Each structure stands twice: as C-alpha cells, then as structure tokens.
Chains A and B, each alone.
Chain A
C-alpha cells in the first residue's frame, strides 16, 4: 500500500467513523440507560434521510434539509417513547418486538413513497469542492462530516461531564433504580435521551444520504454497524462510542480497499472476539 492510499483510507475511515458516531452515540445512550435495543434506530436514520430529500425536492437547501430531518425524527422519537415504549417499560422482549415492528412499517412506507432505487443526495454548495491532503485530492464534504462529528463529540462530552443532567445520565447507566430513589424522575431523563438519540439519527440520515445514498435496506445495514460500534465500545460510555465508531470506520475503509471479499469478516471478527473475551466492551463496565 502506498503512502497516498494509506492517507486516503484513513480519511475515509475517519469520515465514516464520524457518521457512525452521529448514529450510534444515541443508540448506545438509549441502550445503556434504558436497556432498550432500539432496532428502529436504523429506520430513524433512513427516514431522516428521506425527510431531507423531501425538503431538497421542495426547493430547500442542504442545511434546511438537515434541520428538518433533525426536528422530524426528534419529534418522532419523542412520540414513540411517550406513547408506545413507555407502556412496555421493563419488558425487554415486547420492547424489542415493538421496535422491530416499527422498523418494518417504516421500511414498507418508505418503499411505497420513495421507491426502491438508490438516491444520492447532492452535497451542499458550501462543501462542494476538493482539497489536497497528504498528496490526496479529497472531497471537502467528507472533511466537513468529520468536523461535524468532532463538534457533536465535543457537545456531548460537555453535556456528559459538565452538567447535572449529564451526571444524572451517567448515574442512570450505573444504577437506574437508585437514581429514582433519590427523587429524580428517571422517566423524563429517558424521554430526553431517546429524543436526542432519534434527532441525531435523523441528522445522520441526511449526511448518509450524501455519502452512502438512500435505498431500501440502508436502515438495516447502518443499524448493523451501529450494533458493532456499541459492542466494541461498551454500553452507555461516550468514549466507547467515539473509539468504537472510529474503529469500525477504519476497519471498514481499509477492509474494503485491501481485502474486499473479507470486509464483513474483518468487521465482525473483532466483534466476536470482544464478545468472547470482554463482553462489556472496551469502555463499558461489567454488569
């Protein structure tokens, strides 16, 4: 592998990692805090992308599409949590089945509305060019995605470590029952976390629409990546989500380039090893 190829795959890995972080930071927060495996999280992503597409078709620009997707999916998440998931609290199997059902409904409605062809969203005007980086000509948009990922990591980190809400969330990951026994309304925290997670998935959908395109099945594929991130990084751990996302992004980029026929193997083999030797993930805590 030449030095230029190495730089290219590294940049690809980092930008995909940033996209995965947007998706999985919410997914793992919901998983860690509420112990819900939200299998509709991939649908939040894909439908978010389609909401963005609708705004673009209606004449809006990329940024309007991004904000619309964030709001639409955030509100969807809020409604799903308040009206459906809340009724099933503490029953893991019904919770999972509900999210599977929602993802099937979302997939069919999306197919009916937007068809089965892959749709690539246009890059925003502002981020259309390319730059020279380490001898590689690289799209500015992907650098921008990495920048957005860093920004969201920074904001999440501040929220996590510098605010009382963040401390309550971390305490909730440690021991939900004890948080409630101190007089804190954990349900309200759950709703907030679920809404934030959905909102970020909607944002990720619009960005993913530019860089991976939107098509039926993209929801399941991205969910699978999200699951690998959570298993590698660990439940309810922000550093885990960061490191897990970058690892998966880099493994995917280098794997596809060097041994394309084994790229899924390279992704799932580390996951299997982690599950065998460190089931709580790199940064998670044993239960």
Chain B
C-alpha cells in the first residue's frame, strides 16, 4: 500500500527525517512510535505533501504511484485519508457538514463509507449531527476527524496521535474502533505515543529516534525488548 524509501525531510536548515524507510503492506496496521520531537508528525506531513517540512530526498509510493512533487489534494485523491495531530476539524461547520465536505466516492474494492455507516461506527456523532464541530468535546472531535477521513473512502489511513489528550475510557473506545477499521481491510499508519494501544493493534511497529528508525519488528518483539522501550520510548525509567 505505502512504501517509503530513504526519506529526508527538513524544516529550514534543520533536517528532521534523515533517511527513513518503511512499508505499510495492504490491510495491515503499522504503528510508528517515538518520543516527542523525533519526527513522527514530520513523517505524516511528508507523506501528505503538506509544507513545511520540505522533502529533500527519498521516495514515497502509494499503490505503486510515486507521490514526489504531487500537491496534497492529489495525494488524498490517490486514497490517503489523513487524521492530523490536534484533530483540525472544521470548527464553524456542523458535524454533518464536516463529513459531507470530505465525502468522495472511490472504487477501491472496500465497502463505501456514507453517513449511515459513520453513525454506525460512531453512534455518539449521530447524536451530535447538527452541533458545530467547535462545540464538541475532544473525544468527539477525534471521532469526527477519523470519520471525516473515512468519508474520502481511503485505502490508507494516516493517523497522527489520535489518542493524544483523550481520557483513558475514550482511548479504550478509540482502540475498539481502530480494531473494527483494521478488520475492514483498510491499511493504517498509526503514529502513537501510547505504547499499550500500539502493541495491542499493530501488526508491525517502527520506533523513530532523531529522524531515523532504531527498531522495526512485531509488537511482541518490541514488548520483549526492555532496552528499546527504556532508551527510545522512555518506558520504565
């Protein structure tokens, strides 16, 4: 689904990603972990073609199409749904409008998304249909940001720290919903700081540190490596 080869990305003179390679195979959930400031958001923005940062080298391929130089809207049209860090819902639009603005039909063999299917996945949003997104709680905004990306009928979902700022009970709901999505043949790139969430859902985990990949393996392998968890994720210090 997604292949990244030797990606370099920088903000001004500061190189934030220095040669990242990774792969999201069809229908899998790949988690990217790492502490703050290690380049996780830069990775997501580079995939989406949002500037800054500036991609200074390497290749990103989605379903065999090279993304280099394509504007963000063309990348989204190739089937990448984006759930940004901080949610970025359209605050002055209501819930339904947030979803219909994004709606796009796409023939990719997956069951198409419409409002009814969104209400089924997130019943809470159905109750808030006519509320402005700016009035929703953080958890509801996160659900809306995910639903909005799904309305573009993506083949790949790029999610940047969806659990950030959510109460534990909402993180649990989020985990269940992500599990549902994963079983619907969607490919997901999940950037997370929440270790237990990533370990529970991911097929493969990458750990980034200072713009490079320092670990790549299964959740079980990561869980078994106290060294990686301590040094790169700050767990158990």
A interface residues (Cβ-Cβ under 8 A, vs B):
164, 167-168, 170-171, 173-175, 177-186, 285
Q: Which of chain A's residues have a CB closer than 8 A to the CB of B84? A: 178, 181
Question: Which residues of B8-59 have CB atoms within 8 Å of chain A's CB atoms?
Answer: 48, 50
Interface pair A174/B152, CB less than 8 Å apart? no
Question: Which residues of B119-173 have CB atoms within 8 Å of chain A's CB atoms?
Answer: 148-149, 152
Interface pair B102/A182, CB less than 8 Å apart? yes
Q: Which of chain B's residues have a CB closer than 8 A to the CB of A184? A: 73, 76, 101
- Determine how close the nearest CB of chain A comes to the CB of B96; give it in whole angstroms: 10
Interface size class of B (residues with CB under 8 A): 20 to 34
- Determine how close the nearest CB of chain A comes to the CB of B117; give it in whole angstroms: 17
With beta carbons under 8 angstroms apart, the residue of A174, A181, A182, A186 that contacts B91 is A174
- Determine how close the nearest CB of chain A comes to the CB of B154; give it in whole angstroms: 9
Known: A182-B152, A183-B73, A183-B152. A177 touches B50 (CB 8 A): yes
Interface pair A171/B50, CB less than 8 Å apart? no
Q: Which of chain A's residues have a CB closer than 8 A to the CB of B82? A: 178, 181-182
Q: Which of chain B's residues have a CB closer than 8 A to the CB of A185? A: 73
- Determine how close the nearest CB of chain A comes to the CB of B67; give it in whole angstroms: 13
Q: Which of chain A's residues have a CB closer than 8 A to the CB of B98? A: 171
The 3 A-B residue pairs with the shortest CB-CB distance in the complex, in nearest-first order? A183-B76, A171-B90, A180-B72
CA A13 – CA B97 in complex, angstroms? 36
B interface residues (Cβ-Cβ under 8 A, vs A):
48, 50, 71-73, 76-77, 82, 84, 88, 90-93, 97-98, 100-102, 104, 148-149, 152
Q: Chain A CB within 10 Å — which of B71, B84, B102 has the most?
A: B102
CA A182 – CA B73 in complex, angstroms? 6
Interface pair B101/A182, CB less than 8 Å apart? yes
Q: Chain B CB within 10 Å — which of A170, A171, A178, A182 has the most?
A: A182
With beta carbons under 8 angstroms apart, the residue of B48, B88, B102 that contacts A175 is B88
Interface pair A164/B88, CB less than 8 Å apart? no
Q: Which of chain A's residues have a CB closer than 8 A to the CB of B50? A: 177, 180-181
- Determine how close the nearest CB of chain B comes to the CB of A129; give it in whole angstroms: 44
CA A160 – CA B88 in complex, angstroms? 21
14 contacts between A and B (CB under 8 A): A167-B93, A167-B97, A167-B100, A170-B92, A170-B93, A170-B97, A171-B98, A178-B88, A180-B71, A182-B101, A182-B148, A183-B102, A184-B73, A285-B91
Known: A178-B88, A285-B92. A171 touches B101 (CB 8 A): yes
Chain B residue nearest to A179 in the complex (CB): B101
Known: A168-B101, A182-B101. A175 touches B77 (CB 8 A): no
- Determine how close the nearest CB of chain A comes to the CB of B159; give it in whole angstroms: 12
Interface pair A167/B72, CB less than 8 Å apart? no
- Determine how close the nearest CB of chain B comes to the CB of A167; give it in whole angstroms: 5
With beta carbons under 8 angstroms apart, the residue of B48, B72, B77, B92 that contacts A173 is B92
Interface pair B100/A183, CB less than 8 Å apart? no
Interface pair A171/B93, CB less than 8 Å apart? yes
Interface pair B101/A181, CB less than 8 Å apart? no
CA A115 – CA B92 in complex, angstroms? 47
CA A186 – CA B77 in complex, angstroms? 13
Chain B residue nearest to A186 in the complex (CB): B73
Q: Which of chain A's residues have a CB closer than 8 A to the CB of B101? A: 164, 167-168, 171, 179, 182, 184
CA A183 – CA B80 in complex, angstroms? 9
CA A173 – CA B134 in complex, angstroms? 14
Q: Which of chain B's residues have a CB closer than 8 A to the CB of A182? A: 73, 76, 82, 101-102, 104, 148-149, 152
Q: Which of chain B's residues have a CB closer than 8 A to the CB of A174? A: 90-93
CA A180 – CA B48 in complex, angstroms? 10
Q: 17 more A-B contacts (CB under 8 A) besides A164-B100, A174-B92, A180-B72? A: A167-B100, A168-B101, A170-B93, A171-B101, A178-B84, A178-B88, A178-B90, A180-B71, A180-B73, A181-B48, A181-B50, A182-B73, A182-B76, A182-B104, A182-B148, A182-B149, A183-B102
Interface pair B152/A170, CB less than 8 Å apart? no
- Determine how close the nearest CB of chain B comes to the CB of A222; give it in whole angstroms: 29
Q: Which of chain B's residues have a CB closer than 8 A to the CB of A183? A: 73, 76-77, 102, 104, 152
Q: Which of chain B's residues have a CB closer than 8 A to the CB of A179? A: 101
Chain B residue nearest to A90 in the complex (CB): B51
Q: Which of chain B's residues have a CB closer than 8 A to the CB of A181? A: 48, 50, 72-73, 76, 82, 84
- Determine how close the nearest CB of chain B comes to the CB of A234; give it in whole angstroms: 11
Q: Which of chain A's residues have a CB closer than 8 A to the CB of B102? A: 182-183
Q: Which of chain B's residues have a CB closer than 8 A to the CB of A168? A: 101
- Determine how close the nearest CB of chain A comes to the CB of B133; give it in whole angstroms: 9
With beta carbons under 8 angstroms apart, the residue of A164, A170, A180 that contacts B90 is A170
CA A186 – CA B50 in complex, angstroms? 13
